Every structure is written in structure tokens, then in C-alpha cells.
Amino acid sequence: MEASITSRPCSRRPHHPAGDAREVGVLACFALWWVIAAAELVEPYIVPSPGATLDVLTGKAGYLWQHSWVTTYERLLGFVIAVAVGVFSAVVMVYSSTVERTLYLILLFAQVVPKIAIAPLFVVWLGFGIAPKILIAVLIAFFPVVISMVTGLKAVDPEMLQLSATMGAKPWQTFLKIRFPASLPHLFSGLKVAVTLAVTGAVVGEFVGANEGLGYVILQANGNLDTPMLFAGLLVMSLIGVVLFVVVEIAEKLLLPWHASRRESSATTTY
């Protein structure tokens, strides 16, 4: 009697040291913070203890939430505008070399100008409302979006474009079926950068002139030497950035399950 051995795939997910490394790194930073505060290596008004910061986060949660919502709204609106304008500009640049040569220099000039230097000018033009904060967020987030989109649109295999032209596809059909899907991995790389940079624009605008937002909270705390509130504002600001980054990553996973990076990721998590 012959014994037959059948192998069947195992769907068990293995242990991932990379994920643990990220968690250990975060915990190590907080542990180092606690050690510095507990050992009184620096004065409390310079580096507050984690407990003092936590007391501010819990005791003034409503105050922080109110200002966090303002900054998040400015950041999201600026990010959305930057994505819409950036994608449109990238498409125009790819299909028109004249526009690309002209617009690229303008984009490069706008990117290298320090935003903190032109923020007061926007306040003079647009006032102390929400408009200058959104505009600065747009300017900061716009560049990585348009550059990544242009790169993605140009990275299409020329043979695919020739094949579509041979089969009689119209330009808009080639764009929707070939160019745009192929550019999405590059675009999402730019979106991850842009969504983290957008908060910089909003906070810079709040530093220059505002009476609400996390930038205003940090500026007030700095003026009053209230370092626990300053650290609490920084932590909330960082948390918002992490959440928005994760949202973009989730959208990438949902929209690009076919991409090679996703297939390789799935291969390493199942065996």
C-alpha cells in the first residue's frame, strides 16, 4: 500500500519582525522621554514628563479637539485642492511639451521659495481667515503630486501605447485604460508625501496670523513657556498626520490590488 502525501497551502500569517520593529521604535522613544524626565536630566520647563503631557491631553481634550479640527480641515481642504490641480496640471504637461517647459520652471520656483517667507504676504492679501492657511497647504502639497503624476504618466510602456494606437483607440481611451491606471502607483507615492506636508502649510499659516488651530496653540504655549501644552499639541498634530497617511495607504491597497508591490506583499504574508 502506497502512502500518498498531499500538500496543501497554509494560509497562516507568519510573524512580521518589521511591524514589531516599528512598535519597538515608538515605545523606545517614549521610554527615553520618560527616562529623561524621571532622571531630571533637563528642566521640566524644557522637556515635560509624559505624565504632565498626558494630563494636558486628557484635561484639555475639548480645547485641543476644537483647534485640531480647524487644522485638520485646513489640511484636508488644501490637500484635496492640491491633488485636483496637481493631477490636472500633470496631464496637461504630459500632453503638451510647451506647457511642460513653461509650467515646470514656475513650479520649481514656487517650490524652492520658503513658505514661511511668503506666508505674511498671503495674510496681507487674503486676511487672517482660513484662506491663507489653505493656500500655503496647497503650495506645499502640490509639488509632490504633480511631479509623481508626471512621472507615472511618462512611465507607460511605449509598446502599450503603440498597441492601443494600432487598435484604433482614441487618445482619451488610451488615457483612461492605459496611462492613468499605470500612473496610480507613482501618484500614491506622491500623495503619501503630500498628505504629510500639507499640515506644514496649515501650521505655517497659523503661526503667521491666526486665533485658532494647532499652530496657534503651539505658538501660545511657547510664549507662555507651557511645554506640556506644547508637547500635547505636537503629539496631536503628529497623530493627525499618521491617521491621514494610513488612510492614503488603505486607499492605495483598495485601488491597486493588482500592483506588483501588493502581490509581493501578499506572497510574504501567506505560505
Q: What is the pLDDT of residues 192-219, one digit of tens each?
A: 999 988 888 888 888 887 788 999 999 9
Helices (H) and strands (E) in the chain, counts: 12, 0
Give the whole-angstrom CA distance, residue 29 versus residue 33: 6
Q: What pTM was estimated for this model as a whole?
A: 0.82
Compute CA 199 distance to the chain's CA centroid, rounded to the nearest angstrom: 9
Q: What are the tens digits of pLDDT across the range 244-262?
A: 999 999 999 998 876 655 5
DSSP string, 179-212: IHHHHHHHHHHHHHHHHHHHHHHHHHHHHHS-SS
Residue 268 predicted with pLDDT over 60: no
pLDDT of 20: 60
Torsion of CA 82, 83, 88, 90, to 10 degrees: 90
CA dist 163 → 4, 20, 167 (Å): 49, 46, 6
Residue 35 belongs to a domain: no
Exposed, middle or buried by CB within 10 Å (0-12, 13-18, 19+), for 144? buried
Give the whole-angstrom CA distance, residue 251 versus residue 238: 20
Residue 228 belongs to a domain: yes
Residue 27 belongs to a domain: no
Residue 8 predicted with pLDDT over 50: no
Residue 26 belongs to a domain: no
Q: What is the CATH number of the domain that holds 246?
A: 1.10.3720.10
Query: What is the domain extent for residue 218?
Result: 49-262
Q: Which three cell numbers stand for residue 3?
A: 502512502
Q: What are the tens digits of pLDDT across the range 111-132?
A: 888 888 888 888 888 888 888 8
More confident residue, 220 or 44: 220
Compute CA 37 distance to the chain's CA centroid, rounded to the nearest angstrom: 31
The single-letter DSSP state of residue 48 is -
More confident residue, 210 or 73: 73
For residue 258, give the 3-state DSSP assignment.
Answer: coil
More confident residue, 53 or 110: 53
Longest dimension (CA), the chain: 91
What are the strands, taking DSSP E only, across 98-149? Answer: none
Contact 123, 211 (CB under 8 A): no
For residue 8, give the 3-state DSSP assignment.
Answer: coil
Residue 110 belongs to a domain: yes
- How does the average pLDDT of the chain come out, rounded? 83
Q: Which three cell numbers stand for residue 8?
A: 496543501
Least confidently predicted of 51-55, 72-76, 122-126, 191-195: 122-126
Q: Which three cell numbers stand for residue 251?
A: 486607499
Residue 36 belongs to a domain: no
pLDDT of 41: 80
Residue 185 belongs to a domain: yes
Residue 97 belongs to a domain: yes
Domain count, the chain: 1
DSSP string, 139-152: HHHHHHHHHHHHHH
CA dist 264 → 22, 54, 269 (Å): 20, 40, 9
Which residue reads 503630486 in cell numbers? Answer: 145
Which residue reads 513650479 in cell numbers? Answer: 107
